[in-house]
């Protein structure tokens, strides 16, 4: 999910991520939600099932996923309102039993810890299994809507691998645990 | 308590409630017709009465997979089909209804049932009905408070003078018919958090709390806050009944009860709420300290007595039919309630001098 309506860098990064999933794990089904392409309304407190139109489509897609890679630019040293609104639309335990990876694009390296301080606490609260290492991409890593820094490309590959590994591992652990309950 | 038709000499009241959900049985994938579902609810009320259950209530929920949107109509049918069991709503969404209309309906049900009707008024946990019924969600809080106040006023006064924001004013208005004994027990439905309970306490009205899951001790705080608020506003908490509600399912063993009921709750929650019930949380439901009354009859008795000791409440209402539980299982549960659970609960919760 590309969490902004503004700019192209986050979308560019997520395109790479989707390609990487397709190449390495053809069995994994992915879809890319670019919030710039959807008309998502502001949360008004209703259950996510009660939203229709684009809002309902986006909310359901996230709720149905086993894993989510969240791509976000950093605006004003924080996550964009479009992304925060997605969290507001979902139930408090929306990411329970889901793995969540993070990709951050920013204009400056000084924004490196914004994901730690703003995004991870939200994901933690919403019960996500967070892929601890995220990919941080700066302005200088892009050239004409392409990522030109090999270090970033390698890190993207590792994020994809970690996301799949954690999802498989967590699913297996959970199934083993749930089998013990006998219901 | 007499005002609310609670006879404390009999100990903790036991009730059954349904939200009228209309879901497939997850074991068969089959969904009965809406007509059959409504008839089964009426039959369930009759069985509950035969079993000596004190109270039966029907809720309204205006969304897919529910069949008792017109819950007052269903309650009228139950009023006619039964003779002694107290009946009510669980809850009536007063925010999106006209209190005059609600009162007319329930006073009529009270007359049909010879004085057995009660109203539990709630704020709606789901908000789709605001759009359906032509209200603005922005007024969520105000709608409830204003309309609930009006409902209480209509209950108190035969001639009502009233004006507010969300309804035309009433001038020397008589809301008729009047209930059999002049007034109806009216409860405030309260979710998990203390905020709403405190409002109920301030208003000096009885409250019924919805308990989905978690340790019973957690809910004690809310009940304490309710009684404290009532006291601060000049009401005697000893005159205000407290009710609790929650999932109920009995089987031979606790493990079997957890196993049998889980798919109903999990699949039902997925469809009506968008997220299933975590197995990890469900598994804890078998613990005596957990709020859910799911387990063997003996385990349920222990849980209920433990909760009664904690809360000192006057009524417990069981939800046993969520998620397409087949009727024969419901009937079996009622049999267990009648033969094992009710006698034990009454024996241990009735005041000592009465019991001996």
Beta strands at A129-130 and B159-162: parallel, antiparallel or unpaired: unpaired
> For the whole model, what pTM was predicted?
0.91
Whats the size of chain B, residue-wise? 356
Of B114, B142, B123, B257, nearest in space to B188 by CA: B123
Q: Which domains are present in chain A? A: 9-181 (3.40.50.360)
Under 8 Å CB pairs connecting chains A and B tally to 51
The pLDDT assigned to B353 comes to 64
The pLDDT assigned to B352 comes to 77
B186 part of a folded domain: yes
CB atoms within 10 A of CB A29: 10
Look at A47 and B275 and tell me if their CB atoms are within 8 Å.
no
Tell me how many domains chain B contains.
Answer: 1
Q: Is the pLDDT of residue A49 over 70?
A: yes
Look up the domain containing B196 and give its range: 2-349
Q: Which of B63, B274, B278 sits opposite A96 (nearest CB)?
A: B278
ipTM, 2 dp: 0.83
Q: Is B135 on the interface with A (CB under 8 A)?
A: no
Beta strands at A135-138 and A129-130: parallel, antiparallel or unpaired: unpaired
B254 part of a folded domain: yes
Shortest alpha-carbon distance between residue B289 and chain A (Å) = 18
CATH code where residue B18 lies? 3.20.20.30
B288 part of a folded domain: yes
Q: How far from the centroid of its chain's Cα atoms is residue A40's Cα?
A: 17
Q: Which of A50, A63, A93 sits opposite B128 (nearest CB)?
A: A50
| pLDDT tens, chain B, 356 aa long | 888 999 988 999 999 999 999 999 999 999 999 999 999 999 999 999 999 999 999 999 999 999 999 999 999 999 999 999 999 999 999 999 999 999 999 999 999 999 999 999 999 888 888 989 999 988 999 999 999 999 999 999 999 999 999 999 999 999 999 999 999 999 999 986 789 999 999 999 999 999 989 999 999 999 999 999 999 999 999 999 999 999 999 999 999 999 999 999 999 999 999 999 999 999 999 999 999 999 999 999 999 999 999 999 999 999 999 999 999 999 999 999 999 999 999 999 998 765 44
* Contact by Cβ (8 Å): B123, B196: yes
Q: Cβ contacts of residue A80 below 8 Å, gap of 6+? A: A3, A4, A5, A6, A72, A73
B355 part of a folded domain: no
The pLDDT assigned to B150 comes to 98
* Contact by Cβ (8 Å): B14, B300: no
Q: Cβ contacts of residue B105 below 8 Å, gap of 6+? A: B72, B76
Look at B279 and A181 and tell me if their CB atoms are within 8 Å.
yes
**CA–CA separation, B217 vs A80, rounded Å?**
40
The pLDDT assigned to B355 comes to 47
Of the residues A47, A92, A176, the best mutation for testing chain B's interface (the one with the most B CB atoms within 10 Å of its CB) is A47
Q: A49: burial class by Cβ within 10 Å (0-12, 13-18, 19+)?
A: buried
The pLDDT assigned to B131 comes to 87
B354 part of a folded domain: no
**CA–CA separation, A126 vs A98, rounded Å?**
10
Q: Which of B260, B274, B283 sits opposite A181 (nearest CB)?
A: B283
Look at B258 and A183 and tell me if their CB atoms are within 8 Å.
yes
Look at B128 and A45 and tell me if their CB atoms are within 8 Å.
no
């Amino acid at each position: 999910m590309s969490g902004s309506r503004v700019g192209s860098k986050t979308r560019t990064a997520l395109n790479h991520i989707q390609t990487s999933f397709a190449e390495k794990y053809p069995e994994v089904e992915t879809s890319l939600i670019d919030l710039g392409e959807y008309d998502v309304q502001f949360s008004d407190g209703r259950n996510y099932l009660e939203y229709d139109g684009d809002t309902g489509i986006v909310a359901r897609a996230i709720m149905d996923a086993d894993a989510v890679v969240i791509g976000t630019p950093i605006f004003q040293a924080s996550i964009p309102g479009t992304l925060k609104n997605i969290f507001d639309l979902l139930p408090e335990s929306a990411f329970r039993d889901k793995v969540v990876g993070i990709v951050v694009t920013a204009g400056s390296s000084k924004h490196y810890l914004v994901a730690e301080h703003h995004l991870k606490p939200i994901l933690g609260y919403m019960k996500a299994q967070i892929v601890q290492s995220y990919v941080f991409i700066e302005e200088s890593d892009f050239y004409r809507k392409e990522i030109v820094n090999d270090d970033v490309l390698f890190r993207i590959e590792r994020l994809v691998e970690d996301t799949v590994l954690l999802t498989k591992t967590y699913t297996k652990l959970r199934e083993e645990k749930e089998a013990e309950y006998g219901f | 308590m007499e005002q609310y038709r609670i006879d404390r000499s009999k100990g903790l009241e036991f009730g059954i409630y349904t939200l009228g959900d209309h879901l497939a049985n997850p074991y068969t994938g089959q969904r009965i017709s809406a007509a059959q579902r409504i008839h089964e609810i009426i039959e369930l009320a009759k069985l509950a009465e035969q079993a000596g259950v004190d109270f039966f209530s029907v809720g309204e929920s205006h969304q897919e997979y529910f069949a008792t949107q017109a819950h007052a109509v269903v309650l009228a049918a139950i009023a006619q089909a039964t003779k002694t069991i107290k009946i009510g709503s669980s809850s009536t969404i007063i925010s999106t209804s006209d209190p005059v209309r609600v009162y007319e309906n329930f006073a009529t049900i009270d007359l049909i049932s010879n004085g057995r009707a009660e109203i539990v008024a709630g704020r709606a946990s789901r908000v789709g009905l605001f759009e359906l019924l032509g209200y603005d969600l922005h007024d969520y809080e105000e709608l409830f408070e204003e309309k609930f106040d009006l409902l209480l006023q209509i209950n108190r006064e035969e001639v009502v003078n009233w004006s507010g924001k969300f309804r035309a004013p009433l001038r020397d208005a008589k809301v008729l018919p009047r209930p059999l004994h002049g007034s109806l027990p009216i409860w405030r439905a309260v979710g998990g958090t203390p905020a709403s309970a405190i409002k109920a306490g301030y208003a000096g009205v009885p409250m019924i709390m919805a308990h989905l899951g978690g340790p019973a001790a957690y809910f004690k705080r809310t009940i304490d806050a309710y009684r404290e608020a009532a006291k601060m506003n000049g009401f005697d908490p000893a005159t205000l009944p407290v009710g609790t509600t929650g999932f109920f399912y009995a089987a031979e063993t606790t493990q079997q009860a957890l196993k049998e009921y889980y798919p109903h709750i999990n699949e039902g929650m997925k469809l009506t709420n968008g997220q299933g019930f975590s197995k990890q949380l469900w598994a804890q439901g078998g613990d005596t300290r957990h709020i859910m009354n799911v387990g063997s009859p003996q385990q349920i008795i222990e849980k209920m007595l433990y909760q009664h000791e904690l809360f000192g409440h006057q009524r417990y209402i069981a939800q046993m039919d969520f998620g397409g539980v087949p009727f024969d299982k419901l009937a079996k549960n009622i049999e267990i309630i009648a033969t094992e659970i009710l006698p034990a609960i009454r024996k241990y919760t009735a005041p000592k001098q009465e019991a001996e």
